[in-house]
Structures are given as structure tokens and as C-alpha cells.
Amino acid sequence: MRIGVLGAGQLGRMLALAGYPLAKTFVFYDMSGSPSAGLGEVIIDREGKYLDDFLSRVDRVTYEFEHLPVEVAEKLAKEKPVHPCPRALQVCQNREAEKTLFGELGIPTPQWKIADSAESLKAAAESLGCPVVAKSNTEGYDGKGQAVLKTPEDAEAAWESIGHPRLMVEKFVEFSREVSIIAVRGEDGQLAFYPISENVHHEGILRYAIAPAPKLEKHVQEDAERYIKALLNELGYVGVLTLELFETANGLVANEMAPRVHNSGHWTIEGAMTSQFENHIRAVSGHPLGSVEPRGLSCMINIIGEHGDVERLLELPYAHVHLYNKGERPGRKLGHINVLADSYAELVWRVRNCVQFLPGSPEFSSSLSSNRKG
Ligand code: AMP
């Protein structure tokens, strides 16, 4: 079976790495002009001229990034099975549609309002109560196109700095930590849920993901499963879906969803019986899903901007190094390291040992560490 992947970055690369043992082959469709998957066939098509060619070479289509026109996915879906469905793309490209769907399905969200001018942004900040977070309603990712308003008087400057005609304005959530749940749904409706991970960000970029999230109460995992299950079933979803959440004193609050394999699930490559990548390929191909049981305690460390001392990292017996074959650039995801351990204390020790060889990495700070920020 030939799987067509829209997008050709590291997520596509890891999908292919997981799909080869199942005898899948891959054709990537790249619109950026700089594919990095480095595996399979790549069609570079900045002007959208070779979609038919792409389609003729594949049996099924999936995607590894969600910023592609919904019309493209819809056009493809008329010819070949496209998983997940284009509606999932549509929802997650538009924060208003996403938060509306969450609300309809009983998934808690921050209180929110839409603003379409500096005046209505100010009014939204006044009615929600500051602080609020204003985000471009479309085209935002990794915290880009966002501003925090400490008082309604910040509205003018925030409107100018975001520079987008329509904003999602959210009440600022006082969370204890950021977490995510990754789930997968098969073609026959079979469901599987990975344990929640605790996600540590630095300057808007994920740095560490710890799974299963430490000190997580059982009902919190159950709540997250109920929320993501509602989304999967409502969308008739096939493949891996990620739901990013805030953990608060009053339970989980949903931030956003990603209709794909996710950086916070890279730990599953060595840390779970079946990785998120293999399960996505299984689902998209119509196979039964694999076990999502963790193999131990995991921490994923992102390699950002510079590679660090890879030779020394490779010497550590517990460090599973994954490199994406990308050039160094500030803020760029170049690879990740998965560390497994039998106890959280051992995990923290191993993670700190890895981090010393990653200059520029923020100090490891999480609910496990005493130096925790915030
Ligand atoms: P997003 O692009 O929506 O994922 O937001 C990027 C980051 O901004 C999140 O990972 C949070 O750290 C922070 N953030 C977003 N929305 C809120 C909110 N309503 N309250 C507090 N922090 C937020």
C-alpha cells in the first residue's frame, strides 16, 4: 500500500520510519519548497500543479501538518480515502470553529469572545476580565500571533502587534501545568488512548514531554479520554488526534487540537508498545490498532536550534537519539531524545545528564523538579 502524505517534514519522516516495517511505501507532497522528510518519493509543488500526479501514485492520503487549504483535502477526498477527514482540518484551522465544537461536545474551554477591531478587543477584555490572551483566529501556531492583555487599555497595542482582522480572545487560564492526550481511532471505530503527557514549553516551543504525566489523578486521564473520544466520534475521525489541555484546580480546560501525530507524543517511539506513528499508519491503512501501553516512564527532550554534542549523547546508554537531518537555525526542531526509566527520580537524573550536552536547552523544569518555574 502506498500512503500519500501531505507535508514532508520530520513528522512525515517518522511516519515513514514506522510504516516501512509494515511494508508501506510513501509519497510526500511538499508545498513549502524545503522538504526534510528525506525518505520516500517527494513531490515538490509550490504552485499546486501536481496534485493529480500525487493522487495517481497513492492508495490513501494523510497529512502531517494542518496548514494546508481545506479545499485541497476535499478535492483529494473525492478520489481517494483521506484520513483524517477534511472537516478535522477545517475545525482546527479556525479557533472559533474549534472552541465552538468543544463547547457543543461538553469539553471545557477558557471563556472566549471574538474581536474584529481594537474597540471590540477592548470590550472583550473588559467583559471577560483581564488578563486575557488574544490570538489570531486563523494561521496561528507555537504561540505566534498572540498577545496577553494585562488591562483593557492594552487593546490598541495588542491589535496592532497581532495585525489580524479577527481575533479569538480568551480568559487567561491559571493552569498548574500543560498536558496533552493523544488518541487513535481505527477505520472500524476502534479507539485507543495513550497516557496523558506533561508538556514543558520554553519561549512558546515544546521542550520536554513526560509520560505518563507524574502525579496525575485517574479521573483526569478519564476526563481527557472522554473529551477526545467525543471529538473522534463526532468527526468520524480515522488516525491519531492530539488534544492540548491545561490542568487547573478545577479540572482540565481544552486549549486546542491537532489532527495529526504530535511532538508531545514522540516519547511513544520507545516508550509505548506501539508508537503514535505506527498507530496512525495502522489506522489510515485500515488495520487493527496496536497496544498503547507505556513500557515504563518516558521523557522526550527536544533538540532545538543547535544539535549540541551528539557524540556524547550517543554514548549515554539510555538516550535514544532521533535526528531529523535538518540544518541548525534558532528555534528550529532538529531532533529529539527519548529517555526511559523505571522511576521518576531516575528519569530526572537521566534527563539532566542528556541536557548538559544540549547547549541552549533550558534547564529541566517540570512538576518533578524543585526548581519549577511558575
Ligand atoms: P496556542 O497557540 O493556543 O497553543 O498557545 C500557545 C501557548 O500560550 C500555550 O501553550 C500556553 O502556554 C499559552 N496560552 C494559550 N492560551 C492560553 C490561555 N487562555 N491562558 C493561559 N495561557 C494560554
Residue whose cell numbers read 468520524:
236
Q: Exposure pattern of 4-13 as b/e (b: 16+ CB <10 Å)?
A: bbbbbbbbbb
Order of strands across the sheet with 25-30? 41-44, 25-30, 2-6, 60-63
Question: pLDDT by residue (tens digit) across 78-109?
Answer: 999 999 999 999 999 999 999 999 999 999 99
Whole-prediction pTM: 0.96
Ligand 1 centroid–CA 4 distance in Å is 32
140 close to ligand 1 (CB < 6 Angstrom): yes
Residues 183 and 153 in one domain: no
SS3 87: helix
Q: Categorize the per-residue pLDDT at 225 as very low, low, confident or very high, splitting at 50, 70 and 90.
A: very high
Q: Is 49 buried (19+), middle (13-18) or exposed (0-12) by CB count in 10 A?
A: exposed
* H helix or E strand, kind and range, residue 148: strand 146-149
Question: pLDDT by residue (tens digit) across 249-293?
Answer: 999 999 999 999 999 999 999 999 999 999 999 999 999 999 999
Q: Which one-letter DSSP state was computed for residue 237?
A: -
Residues 237 and 333 in one domain: yes
Residue identifier of the C-alpha nearest atom 13 of ligand 1: 143
89 falls within a domain: no
Provide the sign of the torsion angle of the four alpha carbons 75, 3, 38, 41, taken in this order.
negative
Residues 134 and 218 in one domain: no
- Residue ranges of E strands in 233-295: 239-248, 251-258
Whether the CB-CB separation of 205 and 308 falls below 8 Å is answered with: no
pLDDT on residue 91: 96
- Residue ranges of E strands in 23-125: 25-30, 41-44, 60-63, 112-115
Region 233-251: what's the mean pLDDT?
A: 97
pLDDT on residue 371: 57
Least confident range from 95-104, 116-125, 132-141, 213-222: namely 132-141
Q: Categorize the per-residue pLDDT at 369 as very low, low, confident or very high, splitting at 50, 70 and 90.
A: confident
pLDDT on residue 290: 98
170 close to ligand 1 (CB < 6 Angstrom): yes
19 falls within a domain: yes
106 falls within a domain: no
Question: pLDDT by residue (tens digit) across 344-366?
Answer: 999 999 999 999 999 889 889 89
Q: How far apart are CA 344 and CA 128, in angstroms?
A: 39
Residues 308 and 246 in one domain: yes
Ligand 1 centroid–CA 255 distance in Å is 7
372, pLDDT greater than 70:
no
Ligand 1 centroid–CA 48 distance in Å is 33
Q: How far apart are CA 31 and CA 194, in angstroms?
A: 31
Whether the CB-CB separation of 175 and 246 falls below 8 Å is answered with: yes
The parent domain of residue 69 ranges over 2-82
169, pLDDT greater than 60:
yes
Instruction: Output phi, psi for 352, to 5 deg.
Output: -60, -40
pLDDT on residue 68: 86
Q: Categorize the per-residue pLDDT at 38 as very low, low, confident or very high, splitting at 50, 70 and 90.
A: confident
Residues 183 and 316 in one domain: yes
Residues 160 and 190 in one domain: no
Question: pLDDT by residue (tens digit) across 144-161?
Answer: 789 999 999 999 999 999
Residues 56 and 124 in one domain: no
Residues 294 and 334 in one domain: yes
Region 165-176: what's the mean pLDDT?
A: 97
Ligand 1 centroid–CA 224 distance in Å is 18
Q: Which of 99, 130, 133 to mutate to test the pocket of ligand 1 (most atoms within 8 A of CB)?
A: 133
Q: Categorize the per-residue pLDDT at 205 as very low, low, confident or very high, splitting at 50, 70 and 90.
A: very high
Neighbouring CB atoms inside 10 A of 67's CB total 15
Q: Categorize the per-residue pLDDT at 374 as very low, low, confident or very high, splitting at 50, 70 and 90.
A: very low
* H helix or E strand, kind and range, residue 6: strand 2-6
349 falls within a domain: yes
243 falls within a domain: yes
Q: How far apart are CA 56 and CA 105, in angstroms?
A: 38
332, pLDDT greater than 90:
yes
Neighbouring CB atoms inside 10 A of 182's CB total 29
Whether the CB-CB separation of 272 and 245 falls below 8 Å is answered with: no
Structurally, the chain folds into a number of domains equal to 3
95 falls within a domain: no
Region 306-322: what's the mean pLDDT?
A: 97
Q: How far apart are CA 352 and CA 364, in angstroms?
A: 7
141, pLDDT greater than 70:
no
370, pLDDT greater than 80:
no
142, pLDDT greater than 70:
no
Higher pLDDT, 372 or 52: 52
100 falls within a domain: no
98 close to ligand 1 (CB < 6 Angstrom): no
End-to-end CA gap in the chain:
48
Q: Give me the CATH number covering residue 312.
A: 3.30.470.20
Ligand 1 centroid–CA 9 distance in Å is 24
Residues 204 and 151 in one domain: no
140, pLDDT greater than 70:
no
92 falls within a domain: no
Q: How far apart are CA 307 and CA 333, in angstroms?
A: 10
Q: Give me the CATH number covering residue 30.
A: 3.40.50.20
Q: Give me the CATH number covering residue 118.
A: 3.30.1490.20
Residues 331 and 215 in one domain: yes
CA 332 from centre of chain: 15
Residues 67 and 126 in one domain: no
* H helix or E strand, kind and range, residue 95: helix 95-104
133 close to ligand 1 (CB < 6 Angstrom): yes
Residues 158 and 187 in one domain: no
Four-point Cα dihedral 46, 52, 56, 60, nearest 10? 70
